[in-house]
Amino acid sequence: MRYRTLGGLRVSAVGLGAMPLSIEGRPDEERAVATVHAALDAGVTLLDTADSYHLPGAEPGHNERLVARALAAYGGDTSSVLVATKGGRGRPAGGDWTVNGHPRHLKSAAEASRERLGVEAIGLYQLHKPDPGVPFDESVGALRELLDAGTIRLAGVSNTDADQIRRAHEILGDRLVSVQNRYSPAVRDSEPELRLCEELGLAFLPWSPLGGLARSSLDGPSRTEGEQRFAAFHAVAAERGASPQQVGLAWLLARSPAVVPIPGASRPRTILDSAAAADLLLTEEERVRLDESAEPARAQAVSFGSPGGPEEVPAM
């Protein structure tokens, strides 16, 4: 496993997005815990969760509790593991994803997340999404108060544009350490935000990082129009004896030293496949081929994880 820097901390170059372990189609507890343990065995030290990763209207904080149980049951050393969680979104019974960026809510949500994770202070707490009904400065100000109170150690923002990132950096200074936006071979709208993260020294955590790649890593590219566009990822994978998903993650890592992708997984073999991408170094020729294949395009409705089927949904 190779490593990258996040807020002065050394984290694995590939993290684990734990969302699929708690939402619709989630595995049973045994397989979910085994997936987290497989990630840790592979050297993954960044686990991404959120208080809203649960079934609609049921068990708020399910994913945070699951991550905490998995870490407690792991037989090895977890002292270097950074658990990143988020607040500001909800999943009521209707199934829609709501947004609440009110400072009072964020502070209460952070305290609840801290208790569910069983920690003295949350390693990394992120505003899940700006609330159009609340001034952005007020939401970020709540993160500042949580930092000052010692409830959280580091702060981040998610689903934000460049102006919002600059403003958050002005308010939080070097305690703002990360930006989590959607970014993948299929969806590259956040290219300006990625470059801004490089400029400001922030980690950029792409969610749904495998968008555009086919479900199968064995049968070659799909014949559908959308997936034909990414045939180069399959070609490079075949040449290198890797999966297209590994090539996709390696491509993301090659985009910038600020990138730390967090692919989702709901089975051990998926995260083991993804983690192996950290050691897949692309040649300059391969990078050019993949760049040309992954020209910016309209956001896709669904993205897929590593071998074994869908692992991510656009619900961040």
CA distance 119 to 26: 25
Q: Classify the C-alpha dihedral 270-274-197-232 as positive or negative.
A: negative
Asked if residue 137 lies in contact with residue 129, where contact means CB atoms within 8 angstroms, the answer is no
CA distance 44 to 180: 18
Asked if residue 150 lies in contact with residue 119, where contact means CB atoms within 8 angstroms, the answer is no
- Helix, strand, coil percent content, the chain, rounded in steps of 5: 40, 15, 45
53 catalytic? Reply is yes
Alpha helices in the chain (DSSP H): 29-41, 62-73, 103-117, 136-149, 162-172, 191-200, 225-228, 231-240, 244-255, 268-275, 284-293
Q: How far is CA 305 from CA 112, 125, 239, 262, 314, in A?
A: 30, 25, 20, 11, 12
Asked if residue 224 lies in contact with residue 186, where contact means CB atoms within 8 angstroms, the answer is no
Tokens of 15: 């993290």
Nearest to residue 248, comparing CAs of 268, 269, 276?
Answer: 276
Catalytic residue among 53, 74, 125, 183: 53
Nearest to residue 85, comparing CAs of 56, 112, 55?
Answer: 112
Catalytic (active-site) positions: 53
